[in-house]
Chain A
Amino acid sequence: MNVLVKVLSFSVALILIFTGVAYVLPQMEGAAPEETVVDVGELTIESFVAMGEELYQGKGNCALCHNDLGRAPDLLAFDVTRASRERMADPRYQGAASDVEGYLRESMLQPSMYVVEGFGTKGSGDAESPMPAVDKPPIQLSELAIGAIIAYLQDKDGNPVTVALPDAAAGNDDGAAPALPALVQSAEAAMAKYGCAACHAILQSAATLGPGLNDIGSRQSIEQIRDSIVNPAAVIDEDYLVMMPEFPNMTLGELKMIVGFLAKQSGDQS
C-alpha cells in the first residue's frame, strides 16, 4: 500500500506540473468566423476599407502568412499598388489583368498566375503558389469581401481606391444582403468594443484607473490622442500606472472614429 501511495503521489504531482504549464501560458480562444449581415447601402469608402482591413486580419487569414516571418511576402511592408504594376510587367506573369485592381483580384483567386521568387510550393520552381484560392473553402470570401480587401491594400499605401462601392441591388441577385463581418458603425460602439470605459471616465463611465477623457479634446491635439491609442506606453501621465494595452486588431476606421470623437470632448458635455 505504501508503494501504491508513493507511486500515485508521484504520478499525480507530475500530471499537475504539466497542467500548471498550460495555466501559465497565454490564454486565447479561437472563435469560428461569424457570418453577420451588413447593410451594403450604408457603406462608405472609409468603412469599406476598414472592412477590408478587418477581413485581412481576421476571416481572410491573410496575415497568417503575409507577415514578417517570411512565409509569404509581407504586404504591409511595401507599396502593394506599385509592386502589382511591376509584377504585371514581369515576363513570368501569366495572368490576364491589366490594372492593379484586376491583378490583386486575380492574385487572390488564382495565386499561381505570378509567384514571387522564393515563395513557391516546394519543388515547383516558383511556378505554383501554396496560397489557397480565397473564394474556395476553407476561407470562402465573398466577392464583396475580396473587393474590400483590395480597397484596403490600395488605401494602406495612400493610393486611390479603384474598387467601386458595392451596390446593394447589383451585388445580390437574390436580393439578400451579403454575409460580411459586422462593422462598428460609431465611435461609441468602437469604444465599447475595446472597453475604453472600463478604465477611463468617458460616456457614462466614471472610472478612474486611467485619465478621464471627457475633456481630452481640450488638453490634447488630434495627433497626441492618436499616438496615445497607437502606442499607449509612449507618454504616461505621472499620476497613473502603465496599464493600457495595445490594440493590434483595431482597424483604421475604428481608430479614426475614436480619435475624432475624443477630439471633440472638451468637457462641456459633462
Chain B
Amino acid sequence: MRSDSRYPSQRAGRFLLLALMVLVIDLSLAQATAAEQLTAGAENVEVAAASLLPAPNPQRADYPNIGVSSRNLVWIIAQMHLFFGALVLAVPIFVLVIEIIGFRTSDDRYDDMAHEFMKISLTAYAITALFGGTLALSLFLLYPHLMTYLMRAFGSQVLVYAALFFLESMLLYIYYYGWNALRYGNRKWLHLTLGLLLNAVGTTLLVVANSWTTFMMAPSGVDPATGAVIGNIWEVMKGPLWNPLNLHRFIANVAFGGAVVGAYAAFKFLSAKNPEEKAHYDWMGYSSNFISILAFLPLPFAGYWLMAEIYAYSQQMGILAMGGILAWLFVIQAVLICTILLAGNYYLWTGMGRSEGAERYRWAIKYIATVLILGFLVWVTPHNIIYTAAEITRLGGGNHPVLGPLGIMPAKNIAVFLMLICTFLSFQLYRRADKVITVSWQNWGNALMASIYAVAIANIIFAGVYYGYFTNTVYKVGSSVIQVMSTVFVIVSGVVLDTLMFKGAKTLHVTWGKVSSRSQYALFALPIAFTWLMALMGYVRTSIRTHWHVYTVMPDNSPDNFIPTLQTVGNMVTLATLLFLSFLLFIFWIANLSGTRQLPIAADNNPALAGGKA
C-alpha cells in the first residue's frame, strides 16, 4: 500500500526538482571541464606551448604491424563496443518509462517487466566495459600517433569520462539490485530518482564519447593549417556535427534496445511451456516492439539533420557519402530499413488478432502492404549501375528511361515518407483495434484524421515531384523539409487526436498469447536488421573521412587508408553482427540461468549422501 498517495502534486514537484538537479549537474560538469582547461591554458606556459604542437603526420612505416589488418581488428572491436554500449544506454531509458507507467497505474506487471529488462542490461554492461577496454588498448597499440593527438585535444576530459563510468556502474547496480527493496511508497520515488540519475549519467557518457567521433569528422578548436589544438575543451567538443550525432544516436539506441529486448521476449514466448508464460512474453514482446517502432519513426528526421549538417560542413564530404563511392551502401540501407518497416508492420497486423475489434480495420492492411512494397521497390532502385557497352547501347544512355527517374533522391524521399506514414497508420489501427470510441464527435474526429492523412500524402507527393523534377538541386533539398513536416504533423496530430478520442472509450478484451509463432520471427528480424544497419551506417559515417584520421588536419597514411569494396564491408558487418548475436544468446542464457534453481537431491538418489559408494 502506498503511504503518500494523498499528495500527488507534491510528489511530482519533488520528482521535477530532482530532474532539474540532474540537468544542472550535467551542465556544470561540461562547464567545469571547459573552465579548467581555460585556466590551465592561461596559467601554465608549458602546457600552452605543448598545445601548439601540430597534428602528427605519421608515415606508413610508423604504424605498428601485428600481422593482421589493424583497421579490421579495431573495426570489429569498436563495433562490438558500440552495439553493447547502445544496448546498455538504451534499456534503462525505456525501463524507467515502463517503471513510471507501472507506478502510475499500480500495475505490477509493468514493474516486473522493467525489472526483467534490466537483467539483460546488467550482463550486457560488463561486456560493454570489456570491449571498451579492449578497444582502448587496441587503439593505443595500433594507432599511437592518433591517440596521442586525441589525448592532447581532449586532455583531462577522458578522466571525467572514466569517473562517469564509475558513477554509472554504481547507479546501475543499486538500481537493479535495489529494485525490490525500493518497490512501493516513498521508496519507489527514491528508486525512480536513481533511474533518472542512471539515465542522466548514461546520456552524458554517450555525448562525451560522441565528441571524440565528431572531432575526427569535423575538428573544431584546432588550427586548420597545422592541427594544433588552440581551443578549450568545450570548443574542441562542440563541433558542428556533435549535436546532430547526439540526437541521432540517442534515438537510434532506444529503437535498437527495444528491438533487442523484443527478441528476448520472442525467444521466451517460443520456448514458453504454458499459456500464462506465453501471455506474459507476448505482452512483453508487444511492449518492446511498441518502443522500438515509436523510436524508429522519428529516426529518419534525425538522420536528415545529421546529413544536412555534414553537407553544410563539407559539401565534398556529403556528396562522397550520398553521390560518390559510398552511395551504393544506401541501396543496402534501403533493404535494411524496409526489412525493419515490413517486420514492424507485419507484427502489428498479426498482433491485431488478439482482439476481435481488429476486424473493423483488416481491410486497410492490403493497401498499407501495397504502399510498403512499392515504396521498397522505389527505394532500392539505383540511379545507375555499371553497364556493359552492349547494355548501354540497348538502353540508349547511362540511365534506364523509366527506372532512371526513380533512382534519384526525390523519388526515394516520397517512398520513405509514405512508408513512414503507412507504418504510423498500422500503429494507429493497432491501438484502435481493442477500443470502441464513444465521444460524441467521433465522426468529426475520424474525418479530421482522414483529411490530415490525405493532405499530408498529397503534400509529400507534390513536393517530391514538383521540386524534385521541375526545379534545380537547391530546391530539391528544400522540398524534404515540407515532407518531414507533413509526416511529423500526421504522427503528432494522430497521437493527440487518439488521446482525446480514447477518453471514455470502451475497451475490448485482448487475449495475450493469442498470436502466431510466425509473428515472433518478425521480432527477430527487427534486431538483426537494426544491428546490420547500425554497423553499416557507422561505417559510412566514419568512411567519409576517407584518408584522414582527423579530417583535414591529420592524414591517415596507414596501409588501410583506402575505402574497401562493398563485399569487404558486407563481410565485416556480417562478422560483427554474428558475434553480437552470439554474445546476445549468451546474455539471454545467463538471464535465464539466474532464474533457475536446482531442486534438492533426494538422499536415496545420491549414494554418497546415503552412505554408499559414490
- Asked whether B331 is an interface residue with its Cβ less than 8 Å from the other chain, the reply is yes
A71→B566 contact, CB < 8 A: no
Interface size counted on chain B using CB atoms at 8 A:
62
Q: A30-B325, A243-B388, A246-B389 are in contact. Are A132 and B332 (CB under 8 A)?
A: no
> At the interface with chain A, which of B366-374, B412-420, B486-494, B571-579?
B571-579
Instruction: Please encode chain A, from 1 to 23, with 1 for each CB lying within 8 Å of some chain B CB and 0 for all others.
Output: 00110111011101110110111
Cβ–Cβ < 8 Å partners of B230 in chain A: none
- Closest Cβ of chain B to A153, distance in Å, is 19
- Asked whether B614 is an interface residue with its Cβ less than 8 Å from the other chain, the reply is no
Main secondary structure of the interface of A (DSSP, over half): loop
- Asked whether A25 is an interface residue with its Cβ less than 8 Å from the other chain, the reply is yes
- Asked whether A232 is an interface residue with its Cβ less than 8 Å from the other chain, the reply is yes
Q: A27-B567, A138-B552, A233-B390 are in contact. Are A16 and B574 (CB under 8 A)?
A: yes
Main secondary structure of the interface of B (DSSP, over half): helix
B332→A64 contact, CB < 8 A: no
A138→B316 contact, CB < 8 A: yes
> Which of B385, B521, B562, B577 sits near A31, CB closer than 8 Å?
B562
Cβ–Cβ < 8 Å partners of B546 in chain A: 30, 32, 138
B552→A14 contact, CB < 8 A: no
- Asked whether A131 is an interface residue with its Cβ less than 8 Å from the other chain, the reply is yes
- Closest Cβ of chain A to B55, distance in Å, is 10
Cβ–Cβ < 8 Å partners of A30 in chain B: 325, 546, 562-563
User: In whole angstroms, how far apart are the Cα atoms of A175 and B553 in the complex?
Assistant: 26
> Which of B477, B529, B565 sits near A27, CB closer than 8 Å?
B565
- Asked whether B37 is an interface residue with its Cβ less than 8 Å from the other chain, the reply is no
> In chain A, residues 111-134, which have Cβ atoms closer than 8 Å to a Cβ of chain B?
118-119, 121-122, 130-132
- Closest Cβ of chain A to B221, distance in Å, is 16
Residue of A with least CB distance to B554: A137
- Asked whether A242 is an interface residue with its Cβ less than 8 Å from the other chain, the reply is yes
Interface size counted on chain A using CB atoms at 8 A:
50
Cβ–Cβ < 8 Å partners of A4 in chain B: 585
- Asked whether B319 is an interface residue with its Cβ less than 8 Å from the other chain, the reply is yes
Cβ–Cβ < 8 Å partners of B386 in chain A: 26
A21→B528 contact, CB < 8 A: no
B389→A136 contact, CB < 8 A: no
User: In whole angstroms, how far apart are the Cα atoms of A27 and B328 in the complex?
Assistant: 9
B561→A32 contact, CB < 8 A: yes
> In chain A, residues 218-270, which have Cβ atoms closer than 8 Å to a Cβ of chain B?
232-234, 242-246
- Closest Cβ of chain B to A254, distance in Å, is 19
Cβ–Cβ < 8 Å partners of A61 in chain B: 316
B570→A22 contact, CB < 8 A: yes
- Asked whether B324 is an interface residue with its Cβ less than 8 Å from the other chain, the reply is yes
> Which of A3, A10, A12, A118 sits near B578, CB closer than 8 Å?
A12
Instruction: Please encode chain A, from 127 to 155, with 1 for each CB lying within 8 Å of some chain B CB and 0 for all others.
Output: 00011100011110000000000000000
Q: A19-B570, A29-B564, A61-B316 are in contact. Are A245 and B332 (CB under 8 A)?
A: no
Cβ–Cβ < 8 Å partners of B477 in chain A: 122
- Asked whether A70 is an interface residue with its Cβ less than 8 Å from the other chain, the reply is yes
B528→A11 contact, CB < 8 A: yes
Cβ–Cβ < 8 Å partners of A69 in chain B: 323, 473
- Closest Cβ of chain B to A9, distance in Å, is 10
User: In whole angstroms, how far apart are the Cα atoms of A16 and B570 in the complex?
Assistant: 9
- Asked whether B63 is an interface residue with its Cβ less than 8 Å from the other chain, the reply is no
User: In whole angstroms, how far apart are the Cα atoms of A244 and B388 in the complex?
Assistant: 8
Cβ–Cβ < 8 Å partners of A8 in chain B: 585
Q: Which of A6, A8, A130 has the most CB of B within 10 A?
A: A130
Q: Which of A15, A65, A233, A242 has the most CB of B within 10 A?
A: A15
Q: A3-B271, A31-B562, A130-B315 are in contact. Are A23 and B567 (CB under 8 A)?
A: yes
Cβ–Cβ < 8 Å partners of A132 in chain B: 314-316
- Closest Cβ of chain B to A188, distance in Å, is 24
User: In whole angstroms, how far apart are the Cα atoms of A22 and B335 in the complex?
Assistant: 10
> In chain B, residues 361-417, which have Cβ atoms closer than 8 Å to a Cβ of chain A?
382, 385-386, 388-390, 392-393
Q: List 21 A-B contacts (CB under 8 A).
A: A7-B270, A10-B521, A14-B529, A15-B532, A15-B578, A15-B581, A18-B529, A25-B328, A29-B564, A30-B562, A31-B563, A32-B547, A32-B561, A132-B314, A132-B315, A137-B224, A137-B548, A137-B552, A138-B316, A234-B393, A244-B389
Interface set of B (CB-CB < 8 Å, partner A): 224-225, 267, 270-271, 312, 314-316, 319-320, 323-325, 328, 331-332, 335-336, 339, 382, 385-386, 388-390, 392-393, 472-474, 476-477, 521, 524-525, 528-529, 532, 546-548, 551-553, 556, 561-567, 569-571, 573-574, 577-578, 581, 585
